[in-house]
Copies of this chain bind each other. A is one copy, B any other.
């Protein structure tokens, strides 16, 4: 997402008003969308720092993660703008207002890629017998660790136990960009008692999961994994539905991972399970079931 510079803040604000004016949206869409038959411009947001203007484009990209078609669409728009704003100095096609592969509030608040909320109710019975802990214990741990602890640490988007572990694993297995786990791991985990305090409602809210099922790596095992999940390639009936489903798989896996680790901590078993399932252990089956 580009940063452009003018001689004055006044000129920068004129471009901001132009880009954000609903009247110009159709024209800009046609120009942007030429980059690919899947690219569909949805929104343009601008932010000013003096005489410099930062532009953030939002668009749908079908089942692709879409970085390339977006970059090309942005270039199309910049070329077009040069006619009406010949004094616009393009400092860089990427100005960090995106923000790609960096922790940034703009992704946390506005979203980027797919925004997913995943929820489940875990009955008291399962919490006690399978997870070896209590609804109230999980609820308190979540409030004191994932909400309060991260708050004390000055976190940005890291209000969870270990979303990044699961996101990284799924990303590597399915051929996503492992460096995009940074914003893709933004997650707030909520645990609340429901049904008169008997059962547990758990949810993970993840505003910026960045995945695609076309393009990217063509390696055999990653392709096999996408096939296994039933999301490989572009969906012909419903474009973008494969990518959306993959994002749901990520969130669902994170929910399971949160439930598992939080229960282990609540049950005071973290250190011991780490010792037992050390990553250097030869027993791969054991590793596979480790948190």
Contacts and interface: CB of A to CB of B under 8 A. Distances in A.
A274 interface: yes
A218 B287 CA distance: 13
Contacts of A74: 271
A104 B47 contact: no
Given A92-B266, A93-B268, A3 B144 contact: yes
A205 B10 CA distance: 12
A15 interface: no
Given A109-B109, A216-B279, A274-B67, A158 B47 contact: no
25 contacts: A7-B194, A48-B117, A48-B205, A49-B148, A49-B190, A51-B203, A54-B149, A74-B271, A91-B145, A92-B145, A92-B266, A96-B146, A96-B158, A102-B150, A102-B153, A102-B155, A103-B155, A103-B158, A109-B109, A147-B151, A151-B188, A152-B188, A217-B279, A217-B280, A218-B282
Contacts of A150: 96, 99, 102, 104, 151
Nearest to A217: B279
A140 B104 contact: no
A242 interface: no
A154 B156 contact: yes
A133 to B, nearest CB: 11
Given A50-B201, A179-B165, A154 B108 contact: yes
Interface in A83-115: 90-110
Interface residues of A, number: 102
A168 B157 CA distance: 20
B93 A158 contact: no
A224 interface: no
B275 A72 contact: yes
A230 interface: no
Contacts of A168: 178-179, 181
Interface in A156-207: 156-165, 167-168, 172, 178-182, 185, 188, 190, 192, 194, 201, 203-205
A248 to B, nearest CB: 13
B119 A164 contact: no
A170 to B, nearest CB: 11
A234 interface: no
A165 B100 CA distance: 10
Given A92-B266, A158-B102, A216-B280, A147 B145 contact: no
